[in-house]
Amino acid sequence: MVFEGNVDNTLGLRKDKIYSEDFFNDFIKNEIKWLTQAPLIRKSFLKKYQLKFDEDIKQSQERDFFVKVLDKVDNYLVINIPLVWFRKHSASISHSNFSKEKCISNFNVNYNILHNYNSKLNKETKLYIKRILKNLLKKPLLQNEKELVNYFKSKILNDKTNFSFLEKIKLQIGIFSMFFFKKGEIFFK
């Protein structure tokens, strides 16, 4: 349950849905979601698959971790009672404005999902991840963060599996157009 300020100011559930038949793809597309502290996972399961949070990730480490967990399970049980309360505040890295760390973490986590789980992702999920990556590339473009733009661009352009030649050309045109004319968002769709 999400609240702002004090517990009496309840905003509602973070996400109404925490389970689906295709939970792996739906979690990645944010159609189902839960708070980090909500799931109960057996220690033996985590040890068996050597699953833990990647401490090098500055943001989106929960997304990274739960994708790895969901990749290893066939199913899970759900209790439809809010057991965790989440305070929403503007100082949270999840709700803060643009930052290089946040942008790099989001990009890398999503790029790794697309790259590492390609065979398990359905077409809709692949398109969703690609949209996220393109949108994350737009942010540093608008902030004139050339180093970040070049890093993201090189990852996408060097990807031989997930992005077609046409997608890469459109992206290059979009980057050029946004950089010089501050227009060209159509190329990022």
pLDDT tens digits, 61-82: 999 999 999 999 999 999 878 8
The residue among 124, 161, 158 whose CA lies nearest residue 171 is: 158
Report pLDDT digits (tens) over 77-109.
Answer: 998 788 888 888 766 655 556 688 889 999 999
Report percent pLDDT > 90 for the chain: 59
8 A C-beta contact, residue 33 and residue 23: no
Average pLDDT over residues 18-43: 93
Could you give phi then psi for residue 12, rounded to 5 degrees?
Answer: 115, -175
Identify the pLDDT of residue 92.
60
Identify the pLDDT of residue 98.
63
Highest mean pLDDT among 105-114, 131-140, 142-151: 105-114
Identify the pLDDT of residue 76.
92
With bands split at pLDDT 50, 70 and 90, how would you rate the model's confidence at 181?
Answer: confident
Tell me, rounded to whole angstroms, the distance of Cα 152 from its chain centroid. Answer: 15
Instruction: Inform me whether the pLDDT recorded for 111 exceeds 80.
Output: yes
Identify the pLDDT of residue 101.
86
Average pLDDT over residues 132-144: 89
d(CA 1, CA 10): 7
d(CA 159, CA 44): 36
Q: What is the pTM of this model?
A: 0.86
